[in-house]
Structure 1
Amino acid sequence: MTTRGKVLLATTLLPLLSTVTFIVWMHLIAGQNLWGEVIITGIWVMVGFGVGYTVTQPFLRRLYNLEEAAALIAAGRLQHRIERVDEGDEISRIGRQFNLMAVQIEEQVKTLRKLAEENRLLASEAEQLAAVHERQRLARELHDSVSQQLFALAMLTSSALKQEQQKSEALPDTLHQIAGIANAAQREMRALLLHLRPVELEGRRFDEAASSFLSAIADRHNLKCTFTDKTDVHVEPAVEEQLFRILQEAVSNVLKHAEASTIQVIWEQSGTTWKLTIMDDGVGIPESDNGGDSYGMQMMRERALALGGRCDFWRPARGTAVEIQIPMIDGGESGE
């Protein structure tokens, strides 16, 4: 039964039926003729129904307005308001509260849109600042490494030309120095190009992206790269992103400084800790480096700390080893 029918029944029919039942019962007890009373009672029932219908219609229309307003608000018509809320009865009070709620919802939506626009602008500014920071870093590395190496090459080449004219016995040593500096500059440029053309995760898991990245490094730089995966869990996307950046930075350091022929990467799970180990067979970090004071090593350490983990450097029998340990949250996610 609809609300309208229930209201009509409650306001007209039920009281009248109770009255009729009482009259019939009294006449049955007295043994009197009921037809006259039944006709009069029927007339009163019709009159009562009409009066009840007329009285309840305005209330039903106002209830319908409440229902319509709720549907419109739910559909996104946040500017809709209920009219006739100043009559002082319960429906008016409900209408006023509904209008206040609609105003609050509209203001909250405006605030959310404003925050979304501010977040967009902040993200754009952050992206621009990151690009500026990266350009400054690359410019600094070019100045500190390749630029100085090119200057040294120019000086040594001029010296070699003079030595050749003078038939100097020092010419072979000078040419060896030129070749060494040229190779070092080439390694620096390869590492810088790795930063200029970074490989992205592109929706892949860390193990997939790391294996693909090392295969590309092996083909491009004539290195033997191996990737060993000993995990059975999936890593959160934020952790995967930082670990992949750490791997890129470590490989970049190998290309620039290590003069290595192999890179070995092990990705494993140790208890409730993820562990990423990167080893090469190059010249190793200098003893004066204090376990990782270079810019690239500081970047790796900061990324690990941002994940609540740690990044350690040491010298094995040959080359350099980097170990990153990241604690799991709730034991990680199952590979299934």
Structure 2
Amino acid sequence: MKRRFSSIRYLFIRSHISGLFITTVTILSILLSIYVLFSPEWLSPAGIFLFIALYAVLGLVISIYTGFTSSGNMKSRLDSISVLITQFANGNYSSSVRFEEDDEITRIGKELNELGKKLLDQVKSLQRMADEKSEFARTAHKSAVIEERQRLARDLHDAVSQQLFALTMMSEAAVKQLEKNPDIAKSQMQEVAAAALQSQTEMRALLLHLRPVHLSGESLPKGVKQLISELKQKSQIDFKVSISDDLILSETIEEHVFRIIQESLSNILRHAQATEVKIDLSIRSKELFIHIRDDGKGFDVTNDTERKTSYGLKTMRERSEELGGTFTLRSNIDEGTYIDIRIPC
């Protein structure tokens, strides 16, 4: 309510009422001064206050009406500018406003239109640079393969290798306890099974990274669906994918989006402990919308240490920004994780 009465329309009404109040006080002062100094017969105290009362009531009605109507055009134009700024914030830089008046608000609208054109040119420049970067990446494929192998080797050593070593130790301990303490042996074997499942999950995530960096000539919808089909055979996660088969994008955007989805699925396999994953890709208002959701354990996005150490999230954000897009991450502990990406196309 307080916010409503602070709008431009009520500011106009208050300014009219303020003018009415000043005018009423001025007229009352003049009439009282005439009455005190000259005491004319035609002027009486009752007549003065009756006139002032009628003037104030009529002026109040007129002030409210004129303030409400005269501010309508300005409010409409300011709302249009507000919507335009929101469109810019959401990455829709092709939006614009048109005003017929020749005043300051029209000048602001024209300047915002020019800003939108410049931002759109910058997005095109970013995408052009991404195309050039993609070409350069193809020529540097061998060095990228070596770097990826080194990273996978580190991951294998840090995760799967250590888990397999732990499995060996726990298995040997369980064998020794099998005859003496069957209950302890059973508990240890349960721990072995849990550790083996975790190792299997880690290995699936690492194998996911061994897929080709490029789509190898396939379209994005076909590549994503093949990726999901392979994961369905190797995991218990329920995948729900919504993507149009006639989705037409540039080669660079398709490759970046495919890698973003691949990286997000790898994170889900390794960390989320999810049972359901939903992926939506759609084109709306010349923008590609990507929504990836899982029902896993989630994490605290306000934890700077946890967020900054996530190599996968950093890579996805960088790929989105290279295309002039926006990357939004939402997650809460025990409530899953949501990723929303918007890329101009």
Stretches (4+) displaced over 4 A: 122-125, 230-233, 286-292
Gap regions ≥5 residues in structure 1: 1-121, 329-336
Residue 247 (structure 1) aligned to one of 261, 271, 279:
261
| Aligned residue number for residue 323 of structure 2 | 307
TM-score by length of 2: 0.53
* 1:128 partnered with 2:142: yes
Distance 1:268 1:188, change over 3 A: same
Aligned letter for 1:201?
A: L
Distance 1:168 1:320, change over 3 A: same
Aligned letter for 1:296?
A: G
CA contact (8 A) 2:274 2:297 kept: yes
Distance 1:326 1:231, change over 3 A: farther
Aligned letter for 2:147?
A: H
C-alpha deviations, 1:289-327, integer Å up to 9, x for none? 644641222221221122122323222673222222212
| Aligned residue number for residue 57 of structure 1 | none
The DSSP-based 3-state class of the residue aligned with 2:336 is coil
Aligned letter for 1:280?
A: D
CA contact (8 A) 2:276 2:294 kept: yes
Aligned partners of 1:256 and 1:200: how far apart in 2? 22
Aligned partners of 2:190 and 2:198: how far apart in 1? 12
Aligned partners of 1:234 and 1:212: how far apart in 2? 18
* 1:205 partnered with 2:222: no
Identity %: 37
Distance 1:205 1:123, change over 3 A: closer
User: Which has the higher mean CA deviation after the structures are superposed, 198-207 or 304-313?
Assistant: 198-207
Aligned letter for 1:186?
A: Q
| Aligned residue number for residue 319 of structure 1 | 336
How far is the alpha carbon of 1:165 from its aligned partner?
4.3
| Aligned residue number for residue 56 of structure 1 | none
Compare relative contact order (CA 8 Å, sep 6+) and give the higher one, 1 or 2. 2
CA contact (8 A) 1:291 1:312 kept: no
Distance 1:125 1:235, change over 3 A: closer
Aligned partners of 1:312 and 1:143: how far apart in 2? 32
How far is the alpha carbon of 1:264 from its aligned partner?
0.7
Aligned letter for 1:180?
A: A
* 1:160 partnered with 2:174: yes
Structure 1 residues 37-48: aligned runs within 5 Å:
none
Aligned partners of 1:200 and 1:124: how far apart in 2? 9
The DSSP-based 3-state class of the residue aligned with 2:216 is coil
| Aligned residue number for residue 230 of structure 2 | 216
Distance 1:309 1:182, change over 3 A: same
| Aligned residue number for residue 200 of structure 2 | 186
Residue 285 (structure 1) aligned to one of 261, 283, 299:
299
The DSSP-based 3-state class of the residue aligned with 1:260 is coil
Aligned partners of 1:232 and 1:146: how far apart in 2? 40
Aligned letter for 1:299?
A: T
Aligned partners of 1:206 and 1:257: how far apart in 2? 25
Aligned letter for 1:320?
A: T
Aligned partners of 1:163 and 1:225: how far apart in 2? 41
Aligned letter for 1:146?
A: V
Aligned partners of 2:258 and 2:137: how far apart in 1? 22
Aligned partners of 1:318 and 1:200: how far apart in 2? 33
CA contact (8 A) 1:225 1:262 kept: yes
CA contact (8 A) 1:291 1:314 kept: no
Alignment RMSD (CA, Å): 2.8
User: Which has the higher mean CA deviation after the structures are superposed, 293-302 or 199-208?
Assistant: 199-208
CA contact (8 A) 2:221 2:247 kept: no
Aligned partners of 2:287 and 2:218: how far apart in 1? 21
C-alpha deviations, 1:49-101, integer Å up to 9, x for none? xxxxxxxxxxxxxxxxxxxxxxxxxxxxxxxxxxxxxxxxxxxxxxxxxxxxx
TM-score by length of 1: 0.55
Distance 1:314 1:124, change over 3 A: closer
Distance 1:124 1:203, change over 3 A: closer
Distance 1:292 1:229, change over 3 A: farther
* 1:296 partnered with 2:312: yes
Gap regions ≥5 residues in structure 2: 1-135
Residue 196 (structure 1) aligned to one of 206, 210, 218:
210
